[in-house]
Protein backbone atom coordinates (compact mmCIF):
# COMPACT_ATOMS: atom_id res chain seq x y z
CA UNK A 1 0.00 0.00 0.00
CA UNK A 2 1.44 3.41 -0.90
CA UNK A 3 0.77 6.08 1.65
CA UNK A 4 0.43 9.70 0.61
CA UNK A 5 1.96 12.30 2.91
CA UNK A 6 -0.55 13.66 5.44
CA UNK A 7 -1.66 17.28 5.05
CA UNK A 8 0.49 19.58 7.23
CA UNK A 9 -0.51 19.30 10.90
CA UNK A 10 -2.47 16.05 10.38
CA UNK A 11 -1.14 12.97 12.09
CA UNK A 12 -1.75 9.55 10.52
CA UNK A 13 -1.74 6.31 12.49
CA UNK A 14 -0.07 3.03 11.51
CA UNK A 15 -2.89 2.11 9.12
CA UNK A 16 -2.77 5.55 7.47
CA UNK A 17 -5.89 7.05 9.06
CA UNK A 18 -6.48 10.41 10.71
CA UNK A 19 -8.07 10.75 14.14
CA UNK A 20 -11.16 12.07 12.37
CA UNK A 21 -11.78 8.60 10.89
CA UNK A 22 -12.49 7.30 14.41
CA UNK A 23 -15.12 9.87 15.31
CA UNK A 24 -18.88 9.24 15.39
CA UNK A 25 -21.88 11.55 15.19
CA UNK A 26 -22.01 14.76 17.17
CA UNK A 27 -22.92 14.10 20.79
CA UNK A 28 -26.41 14.90 22.04
CA UNK A 29 -25.37 14.45 25.70
CA UNK A 30 -25.11 17.46 28.05
CA UNK A 31 -21.98 19.62 27.71
CA UNK A 32 -19.52 18.54 30.40
CA UNK A 33 -21.03 15.04 30.84
CA UNK A 34 -18.26 12.60 31.78
CA UNK A 35 -19.56 10.16 29.14
CA UNK A 36 -18.40 12.53 26.35
CA UNK A 37 -14.82 12.44 27.67
CA UNK A 38 -14.93 8.63 27.67
CA UNK A 39 -16.03 8.58 24.01
CA UNK A 40 -13.08 10.89 23.23
CA UNK A 41 -10.65 8.50 24.93
CA UNK A 42 -12.10 5.50 23.04
CA UNK A 43 -11.52 7.46 19.81
CA UNK A 44 -7.92 8.24 20.86
CA UNK A 45 -7.23 4.65 21.91
CA UNK A 46 -8.53 3.13 18.65
CA UNK A 47 -6.61 5.73 16.62
CA UNK A 48 -3.36 5.13 18.51
CA UNK A 49 -3.68 1.35 18.21
CA UNK A 50 -4.51 1.60 14.50
CA UNK A 51 -7.70 -0.44 14.87
CA UNK A 52 -9.85 -1.02 11.77
CA UNK A 53 -13.28 0.37 12.66
CA UNK A 54 -15.10 -2.20 10.50
CA UNK A 55 -13.59 -4.94 12.70
CA UNK A 56 -15.24 -3.36 15.74
CA UNK A 57 -18.60 -4.23 17.20
CA UNK A 58 -20.11 -1.54 19.45
CA UNK A 59 -22.79 -2.73 21.86
CA UNK A 60 -24.86 -1.01 24.52
CA UNK A 61 -28.04 -1.13 26.59
CA UNK A 62 -30.22 1.88 27.46
CA UNK A 63 -29.25 5.14 29.18
CA UNK A 64 -27.27 8.30 28.40
CA UNK A 65 -24.15 6.10 28.63
CA UNK A 66 -25.63 3.55 26.25
CA UNK A 67 -26.15 6.31 23.66
CA UNK A 68 -22.37 6.86 23.59
CA UNK A 69 -21.44 4.30 20.91
CA UNK A 70 -23.13 6.61 18.39
CA UNK A 71 -20.45 9.20 19.18
CA UNK A 72 -17.37 7.15 18.28
CA UNK A 73 -16.24 4.93 15.39
CA UNK A 74 -18.98 5.81 12.88
CA UNK A 75 -18.00 3.01 10.52
CA UNK A 76 -18.01 0.22 13.12
CA UNK A 77 -20.90 -2.24 13.50
CA UNK A 78 -23.33 -1.32 16.28
CA UNK A 79 -26.18 -2.81 18.28
CA UNK A 80 -28.11 -0.73 20.81
CA UNK A 81 -29.94 -3.43 22.77
CA UNK A 82 -32.67 -3.46 25.42
CA UNK A 83 -32.02 -2.06 28.94
CA UNK A 84 -29.53 -4.33 30.76
CA UNK A 85 -29.48 -6.95 28.02
CA UNK A 86 -26.30 -6.04 26.17
CA UNK A 87 -24.28 -9.00 27.57
CA UNK A 88 -26.48 -11.65 25.95
CA UNK A 89 -26.46 -9.82 22.61
CA UNK A 90 -22.65 -9.53 22.88
CA UNK A 91 -22.35 -13.23 23.68
CA UNK A 92 -24.39 -14.23 20.64
CA UNK A 93 -22.56 -11.82 18.34
CA UNK A 94 -19.11 -12.94 19.47
CA UNK A 95 -19.97 -16.61 19.19
CA UNK A 96 -21.10 -15.93 15.63
CA UNK A 97 -17.90 -14.05 14.87
CA UNK A 98 -15.11 -14.23 17.41
CA UNK A 99 -12.82 -12.20 15.11
CA UNK A 100 -14.69 -8.98 15.94
CA UNK A 101 -13.27 -6.60 18.50
CA UNK A 102 -16.19 -5.91 20.81
CA UNK A 103 -16.66 -2.77 22.88
CA UNK A 104 -19.69 -2.72 25.18
CA UNK A 105 -20.80 0.51 26.84
CA UNK A 106 -23.18 0.34 29.77
CA UNK A 107 -24.27 2.51 32.68
CA UNK A 108 -24.27 1.90 36.42
CA UNK A 109 -28.06 1.49 36.20
CA UNK A 110 -27.97 -0.58 33.02
CA UNK A 111 -25.39 -2.91 34.63
CA UNK A 112 -26.05 -2.72 38.38
CA UNK A 113 -29.85 -2.67 38.43
CA UNK A 114 -31.87 -4.23 35.59
CA UNK A 115 -28.82 -5.87 34.00
CA UNK A 116 -27.13 -7.33 37.08
CA UNK A 117 -28.02 -10.94 36.23
CA UNK A 118 -26.59 -10.63 32.73
CA UNK A 119 -23.50 -8.86 34.08
CA UNK A 120 -22.80 -11.70 36.53
CA UNK A 121 -22.84 -14.36 33.82
CA UNK A 122 -20.83 -12.22 31.42
CA UNK A 123 -18.05 -11.84 34.00
CA UNK A 124 -17.87 -15.56 34.81
CA UNK A 125 -17.65 -16.49 31.13
CA UNK A 126 -14.66 -14.27 30.35
CA UNK A 127 -16.14 -13.36 26.96
CA UNK A 128 -13.57 -11.45 24.84
CA UNK A 129 -15.08 -8.00 25.19
CA UNK A 130 -14.16 -4.58 26.57
CA UNK A 131 -17.04 -3.79 28.94
CA UNK A 132 -17.15 -0.15 30.04
CA UNK A 133 -19.45 1.07 32.79
CA UNK A 134 -19.92 4.84 32.60
CA UNK A 135 -20.56 5.22 36.31
CA UNK A 136 -22.30 8.38 37.51
CA UNK A 137 -24.16 6.87 40.49
CA UNK A 138 -27.54 7.77 39.02
CA UNK A 139 -30.01 7.11 36.23
CA UNK A 140 -29.09 10.15 34.13
CA UNK A 141 -31.52 9.48 31.29
CA UNK A 142 -34.55 9.28 33.59
CA UNK A 143 -33.64 12.42 35.56
CA UNK A 144 -31.12 11.41 38.16
CA UNK A 145 -32.61 8.80 40.56
CA UNK A 146 -30.05 6.87 42.68
CA UNK A 147 -28.52 3.88 40.97
CA UNK A 148 -27.08 0.80 42.74
CA UNK A 149 -23.55 2.29 42.72
CA UNK A 150 -24.61 5.35 44.74
CA UNK A 151 -22.84 5.44 48.11
CA UNK A 152 -24.63 5.29 51.46
CA UNK A 153 -25.20 8.83 52.70
CA UNK A 154 -24.82 10.51 49.30
CA UNK A 155 -27.63 12.88 48.45
CA UNK A 156 -29.77 13.75 45.45
CA UNK A 157 -29.96 17.38 44.36
CA UNK A 158 -33.22 17.77 46.31
CA UNK A 159 -31.57 16.53 49.54
CA UNK A 160 -32.93 12.94 49.56
CA UNK A 161 -30.33 10.69 51.24
CA UNK A 162 -29.37 7.27 49.89
CA UNK A 163 -29.50 4.66 52.65
CA UNK A 164 -28.70 1.53 50.65
CA UNK A 165 -25.18 0.13 50.36
CA UNK A 166 -23.53 0.36 46.91
CA UNK A 167 -22.61 -2.47 44.56
CA UNK A 168 -18.90 -2.36 43.66
CA UNK A 169 -18.79 -3.63 40.09
CA UNK A 170 -15.00 -4.06 40.19
CA UNK A 171 -15.19 -6.29 43.26
CA UNK A 172 -17.92 -8.32 41.58
CA UNK A 173 -16.01 -8.64 38.32
CA UNK A 174 -12.84 -9.82 40.09
CA UNK A 175 -14.68 -12.37 42.23
CA UNK A 176 -16.69 -13.67 39.28
CA UNK A 177 -13.79 -14.29 36.92
CA UNK A 178 -13.19 -11.29 34.66
CA UNK A 179 -9.57 -11.40 33.57
CA UNK A 180 -8.93 -7.63 33.36
CA UNK A 181 -10.55 -5.28 35.87
CA UNK A 182 -9.85 -1.57 36.15
CA UNK A 183 -11.35 1.59 37.55
CA UNK A 184 -10.67 5.04 36.17
CA UNK A 185 -12.09 8.56 36.03
CA UNK A 186 -13.40 10.33 32.93
CA UNK A 187 -11.40 13.39 34.06
CA UNK A 188 -8.08 11.51 34.08
CA UNK A 189 -7.17 11.54 30.39
CA UNK A 190 -3.82 9.81 30.68
CA UNK A 191 -4.84 6.97 32.98
CA UNK A 192 -8.08 6.25 31.11
CA UNK A 193 -6.42 6.25 27.68
CA UNK A 194 -3.68 3.86 28.83
CA UNK A 195 -6.18 1.49 30.45
CA UNK A 196 -8.38 1.50 27.33
CA UNK A 197 -5.44 0.67 25.06
CA UNK A 198 -4.42 -2.21 27.34
CA UNK A 199 -8.03 -3.44 27.54
CA UNK A 200 -8.40 -3.39 23.74
CA UNK A 201 -5.28 -5.56 23.48
CA UNK A 202 -6.43 -8.07 26.10
CA UNK A 203 -8.15 -11.34 25.13
CA UNK A 204 -10.93 -11.96 27.68
CA UNK A 205 -13.40 -9.76 29.55
CA UNK A 206 -11.87 -6.35 30.27
CA UNK A 207 -14.26 -4.70 32.72
CA UNK A 208 -13.60 -0.99 33.26
CA UNK A 209 -15.68 1.01 35.70
CA UNK A 210 -15.17 4.66 34.74
CA UNK A 211 -16.36 7.27 37.23
CA UNK A 212 -18.17 9.65 34.92
CA UNK A 213 -19.96 12.58 36.59
CA UNK A 214 -23.47 13.55 35.50
CA UNK A 215 -23.27 17.35 35.45
CA UNK A 216 -27.03 17.76 35.27
CA UNK A 217 -28.19 15.52 38.15
CA UNK A 218 -25.24 14.35 40.26
CA UNK A 219 -22.44 16.91 40.42
CA UNK A 220 -23.42 18.76 43.60
CA UNK A 221 -22.01 18.80 47.12
CA UNK A 222 -23.24 15.64 48.87
CA UNK A 223 -22.63 13.48 45.80
CA UNK A 224 -19.69 11.05 45.87
CA UNK A 225 -19.71 10.86 42.06
CA UNK A 226 -19.14 14.58 41.40
CA UNK A 227 -16.03 15.92 39.63
CA UNK A 228 -14.81 17.56 42.85
CA UNK A 229 -15.32 14.47 45.04
CA UNK A 230 -13.72 12.00 42.63
CA UNK A 231 -10.73 14.29 42.01
CA UNK A 232 -10.13 14.60 45.78
CA UNK A 233 -10.64 10.91 46.60
CA UNK A 234 -8.82 9.22 43.72
CA UNK A 235 -6.25 6.76 45.11
CA UNK A 236 -4.36 5.16 42.16
CA UNK A 237 -2.90 1.73 42.94
CA UNK A 238 -0.13 2.16 40.36
CA UNK A 239 0.97 4.31 37.45
CA UNK A 240 0.10 2.52 34.20
CA UNK A 241 2.10 2.60 30.94
CA UNK A 242 1.33 0.53 27.86
CA UNK A 243 3.48 -0.58 24.91
CA UNK A 244 1.50 -2.12 22.01
CA UNK A 245 2.89 -5.20 20.24
CA UNK A 246 3.86 -3.19 17.14
CA UNK A 247 6.15 -0.81 19.06
CA UNK A 248 9.58 -2.12 19.77
CA UNK A 249 10.30 0.00 22.83
CA UNK A 250 11.92 -1.38 25.95
CA UNK A 251 11.18 0.48 29.12
CA UNK A 252 13.95 0.80 31.66
CA UNK A 253 12.89 0.44 35.26
CA UNK A 254 14.36 -0.44 38.63
CA UNK A 255 13.54 -4.04 39.47
CA UNK A 256 11.12 -4.26 42.37
CA UNK A 257 9.45 -0.92 41.56
CA UNK A 258 7.58 -1.90 38.40
CA UNK A 259 5.43 -4.84 37.36
CA UNK A 260 5.52 -5.93 33.72
CA UNK A 261 2.50 -7.82 32.37
CA UNK A 262 2.63 -9.36 28.88
CA UNK A 263 -0.60 -9.74 26.97
CA UNK A 264 -1.41 -12.55 24.52
CA UNK A 265 -0.61 -10.40 21.44
CA UNK A 266 2.81 -9.39 22.77
CA UNK A 267 1.75 -5.97 24.06
CA UNK A 268 3.12 -5.05 27.48
CA UNK A 269 1.68 -3.21 30.45
CA UNK A 270 4.04 -1.58 32.94
CA UNK A 271 2.72 -0.78 36.38
CA UNK A 272 4.85 1.48 38.50
CA UNK A 273 4.07 0.81 42.12
CA UNK A 274 2.91 3.73 44.21
CA UNK A 275 2.93 3.65 48.05
CA UNK A 276 1.53 0.13 48.33
CA UNK A 277 3.42 -2.85 46.92
CA UNK A 278 0.56 -3.52 44.50
CA UNK A 279 0.62 -6.69 42.41
CA UNK A 280 -2.21 -6.66 39.80
CA UNK A 281 -2.07 -10.44 39.44
CA UNK A 282 -2.90 -10.98 43.12
CA UNK A 283 -6.66 -11.40 43.42
CA UNK A 284 -6.81 -11.36 47.23
CA UNK A 285 -4.82 -8.14 47.39
CA UNK A 286 -7.04 -6.48 44.78
CA UNK A 287 -10.16 -7.39 46.76
CA UNK A 288 -8.61 -6.20 50.04
CA UNK A 289 -7.47 -2.86 48.57
CA UNK A 290 -10.92 -2.24 47.10
CA UNK A 291 -12.54 -2.87 50.49
CA UNK A 292 -10.01 -0.72 52.35
CA UNK A 293 -10.22 2.27 50.01
CA UNK A 294 -14.02 2.13 49.98
CA UNK A 295 -14.06 2.15 53.80
CA UNK A 296 -11.98 5.39 53.66
CA UNK A 297 -14.45 6.89 51.14
CA UNK A 298 -11.82 6.71 48.39
CA UNK A 299 -11.67 5.18 44.91
CA UNK A 300 -8.83 2.78 44.11
CA UNK A 301 -8.12 3.49 40.44
CA UNK A 302 -5.84 1.96 37.81
CA UNK A 303 -5.47 -1.63 36.65
CA UNK A 304 -6.77 -3.52 39.68
CA UNK A 305 -6.55 -7.10 38.46
CA UNK A 306 -5.24 -8.90 35.39
CA UNK A 307 -4.93 -12.56 34.41
CA UNK A 308 -3.67 -12.44 30.80
CA UNK A 309 -3.44 -16.19 30.18
CA UNK A 310 -6.93 -17.12 31.35
CA UNK A 311 -8.82 -18.89 28.52
CA UNK A 312 -11.63 -16.79 27.10
CA UNK A 313 -15.14 -18.09 26.44
CA UNK A 314 -14.57 -18.77 22.72
CA UNK A 315 -11.50 -20.91 23.37
CA UNK A 316 -13.27 -22.73 26.20
CA UNK A 317 -15.98 -23.68 23.73
CA UNK A 318 -13.37 -24.93 21.28
CA UNK A 319 -14.83 -22.90 18.44
CA UNK A 320 -13.35 -23.39 15.01
CA UNK A 321 -11.05 -20.57 14.01
CA UNK A 322 -13.22 -19.46 11.11
CA UNK A 323 -16.16 -17.32 12.30
CA UNK A 324 -19.32 -19.46 12.60
CA UNK A 325 -21.21 -16.75 10.72
CA UNK A 326 -18.98 -17.37 7.66
CA UNK A 327 -19.25 -21.16 7.56
CA UNK A 328 -21.17 -22.54 4.59
CA UNK A 329 -24.42 -24.42 5.19
CA UNK A 330 -22.82 -27.81 4.49
CA UNK A 331 -20.53 -27.29 7.49
CA UNK A 332 -23.11 -26.01 9.95
CA UNK A 333 -25.74 -28.59 8.92
CA UNK A 334 -23.93 -31.90 8.51
CA UNK A 335 -25.86 -34.51 6.53
CA UNK A 336 -27.86 -37.53 7.71
CA UNK A 337 -24.77 -39.82 7.51
CA UNK A 338 -22.91 -37.67 10.05
CA UNK A 339 -25.89 -37.74 12.41
CA UNK A 340 -26.17 -41.49 12.05
CA UNK A 341 -22.47 -41.88 12.75
CA UNK A 342 -22.80 -39.81 15.94
CA UNK A 343 -25.82 -41.89 17.04
CA UNK A 344 -23.88 -45.05 16.33
CA UNK A 345 -21.02 -43.85 18.55
CA UNK A 346 -23.45 -43.37 21.47
CA UNK A 347 -24.66 -46.99 21.34
Ligand X SMILES: Cc1ncc(C[n+]2csc(CCOP(=O)(O)OP(=O)(O)O)c2C)c(N)n1
Let me know: does 130 contact 60? Beta carbons within 8 Å: no
Q: Are 89 and 110 in contact (CB under 8 A)?
A: no
Closer CB to ligand SF4, 32 or 311, in the complex:
32
- The size of the interface with ligand SF4 (CB under 6 A), counted in residues, is 12
Task: Provide the pairing of β-strand 129-135 with 77-80.
Answer: unpaired
**Positions in 128-147 near ligand SF4 (CB under 6 A):** 136, 140-141
Is residue 48 involved in binding ligand X (CB under 6 A)? no
Site string for Mg ion, 134-153 (x = CB under 5 A): --x-----------------
216 binds, among ligand X, Mg ion, ligand SF4, none (CB under 5 to 8 A by kind): ligand SF4
* 80-139: contacts with ligand X (CB under 6 A): 83, 107-110, 114, 134, 136, 138-139
d(CA 72, CA 25): 7
Does 60 bind Mg ion (CB under 5 A)? Our answer is: no
Whether 108 and 133 have beta carbons less than 8 Å apart is answered as: yes
In the bound complex, what is the minimum distance in angstroms from residue 136's beta carbon to ligand SF4?
5
Question: With the CA atoms of 119, 125, 127 and 131 taken in that order, what torsion angle do they form, in degrees rounded to the nearest 10?
Answer: 30
Stretch that binds Mg ion, among 6-14, 18-26, 38-46, 132-140 (CB under 5 A): 132-140
Report, in Å, the least distance between residue 141 CB and ligand SF4: 6
Q: What kind and span of H or E run contains 338?
A: helix 336-346
DSSP code of residue 155: B
Torsion region of 231: left, alpha or beta (phi above 0 gives left; psi -120 to 50 gives alpha): alpha
- Angle at 187 (CA atoms; ends 14, 56), nearest 5 degrees: 40
Q: Is residue 267 at the binding interface for ligand X, with CB under 6 A as the rule?
A: no
Query: Cα dist. 141→215, 269, 312 in Å?
Result: 12, 36, 33
Strands 299-306 and 180-185: antiparallel
The least CB distance from residue 314 to Mg ion, in Å, is: 30
Cβ closest to Mg ion, residue 84 vs residue 107: 107
Is residue 154 a contact residue for ligand SF4 (CB under 6 A)?
no
Nearer to ligand X among residue 152 and residue 325 (C-beta):
152
Nearest-approach distance from CB 143 to ligand SF4, in angstroms: 8
Distances (CA, A) of 246 to 190, 243, 265, 267: 20, 8, 10, 8
Out of 24, 69, 87, 107, the residue judged to bind Mg ion by CB under 5 A: 107
Total residues binding ligand X (CB under 6 A): 18
Among 33, 199, 230, 290, binds ligand SF4 (CB under 6 A): 33
343 by Cβ neighbours in 10 Å (0-12 / 13-18 / 19+) ranks as exposed
User: What binding mask, one character per residue, do residues 156-185 give for ligand X by CB under 6 A, x or -?
Assistant: ------------------------------
Binding site residues, ligand X, CB under 6 A? 62-65, 83, 107-110, 114, 134, 136, 138-142, 147
Binding site residues, ligand SF4, CB under 6 A? 29-30, 33, 35, 64, 136, 140-141, 214-217
Amino acid sequence: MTMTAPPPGKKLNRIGLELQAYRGSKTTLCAGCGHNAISERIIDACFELGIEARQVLKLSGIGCSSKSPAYFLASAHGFNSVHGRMPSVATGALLANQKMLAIGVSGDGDTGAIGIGQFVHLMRRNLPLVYIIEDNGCYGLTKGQFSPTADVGSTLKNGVVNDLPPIDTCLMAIELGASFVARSFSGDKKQLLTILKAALSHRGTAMIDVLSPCVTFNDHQGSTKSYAYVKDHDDPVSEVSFVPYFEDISIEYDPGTTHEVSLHDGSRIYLKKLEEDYDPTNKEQAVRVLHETAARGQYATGLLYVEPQKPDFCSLLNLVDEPLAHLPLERVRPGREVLEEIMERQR
